C-alpha cells in the first residue's frame, strides 16, 4: 500500500512540485495534502493544478501563540492521515511539542551542507566564508533547528563569479533532484543517506 505524504510550504513550492511529480508509477508514496501557513503561498495553486488536496492555516491570527497555531496545523494534518510529512520551504519554526508528534516521519530540506550554515542566508554566508563547495541537505526533523539525522546531501561547487542568487539557483536545481531521491528511499523504509552527485 502507498505511503501517504503531506507537504508543508510557505512559498512558491518548486520543491513540492518536484516531490509530487516524482510520486508516480512504482514510487512507494503518493501526495495526499499540500498545506501552507498562508492562503497566498504560490505552491497551493500549483498543487491544486496537479490535483492534490490543499489547505492552509494562517499563522498571523495566532499572534505569537505558536502552540495554538501548531494545534490547528496538526488537526488538519491528522485529517489527511499522512505517513510522512515533508517540509519544503515551510518558513515557520516548529516547537518541540509539534516535532515530537511527527518525529521519525518528518523530513526537511535545507539549502546548505549541514551541519554548516543552519538558519537563513546560507548562500551569502557560504560565499562570504570563501567556501569552494556548498549544497543542500535533507534531514529528519528534530526539535533543534536544522538538526536531525542526515538523509541526503548534494554538493554544488561555488564559482568565483557567484552571487548569492546565482548560487541559490544552482543549489535549488540540486534540491529538486535530492529531495525526491531521498523521499523515494525513505518511503521504502531505507534511511541510508543519498549522496549526490
CB of 17 to ligand GRF, least distance (A): 8
Give yes or no for a contact between 196 and 181, defined as CB atoms under 8 angstroms apart: yes
Chosen residue from 28, 31, 82, 111 binding ligand GRF by CB under 6 A: 111
Please tell me whether residue 57 binds ligand GRF under the rule CB under 6 A.
no
- By C-beta, is 1 or 93 nearer to ligand GRF? 93
Instruction: Respond yes or no: is residue 134 known to be catalytic.
Output: no
Question: Could you tell me which stretch among 4-12, 28-36, 45-53, 145-153 binds ligand GRF (CB under 6 A)?
Answer: 4-12
Per CB under 6 A, contacts with ligand GRF among 115-174 are 136, 172
Compute the radius of gyration of the chain from its Cα atoms. 16
The active-site residue out of 27, 59, 74, 110 is 110
Residue with cell 510550504: 9
Q: Is 115 exposed, middle or buried (0-12, 13-18, 19+ CB in 10 A)?
A: exposed
Phi, psi of 181 (to 5 degrees): -65, -40
Question: Could you tell me which stretch among 104-112, 125-133, 139-147, 154-162 binds ligand GRF (CB under 6 A)?
Answer: 104-112
| DSSP per-residue codes, 167-179 | HHHHHHHHHHHHH
Q: How many residues does the chain have?
A: 197
Phi, psi of 127 (to 5 degrees): -65, -45
Q: Which residues bind ligand GRF (CB under 6 A)?
A: 9, 11-15, 43, 88-89, 109-111, 136, 172, 175
- Which residues belong to the active site? 110
Amino acid at each position: 500500500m502507498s505511503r501517504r505524504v503531506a507537504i508543508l510550504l510557505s512559498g512558491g513550492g518548486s520543491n513540492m512540485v518536484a516531490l509530487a511529480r516524482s510520486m508516480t508509477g512504482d514510487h512507494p508514496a503518493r501526495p495526499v495534502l499540500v498545506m501552507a501557513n498562508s492562503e497566498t503561498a504560490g505552491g497551493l495553486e500549483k498543487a491544486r493544478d496537479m490535483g492534490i488536496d490543499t489547505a492552509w492555516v494562517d499563522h498571523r491570527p495566532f499572534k505569537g501563540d505558536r502552540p495554538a497555531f501548531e494545534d490547528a496545523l496538526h488537526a488538519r494534518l491528522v485529517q489527511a492521515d499522512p505517513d510522512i510529512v515533508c517540509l519544503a520551504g515551510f518558513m515557520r519554526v516548529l516547537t518541540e511539542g509539534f516535532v515530537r508528534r511527527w518525529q521519525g516521519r518528518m523530513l526537511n530540506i535545507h539549502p546548505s551542507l549541514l551541519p554548516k550554515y543552519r538558519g537563513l542566508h546560507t548562500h551569502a554566508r557560504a560565499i562570504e566564508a570563501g567556501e569552494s563547495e556548498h549544497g543542500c541537505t535533507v534531514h529528519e526533523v528534530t526539535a533543534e533547528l536544522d538538526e536531525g539525522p542526515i538523509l541526503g546531501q548534494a554538493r554544488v561547487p561555488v564559482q568565483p563569479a557567484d552571487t548569492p542568487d546565482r548560487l541559490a539557483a544552482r543549489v535549488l536545481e540540486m534540491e529538486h533532484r535530492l529531495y525526491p531521491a531521498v523521499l523515494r528511499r525513505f518511503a521504502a523504509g531505507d534511511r541510508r543517506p543519498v549522496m549526490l552527485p
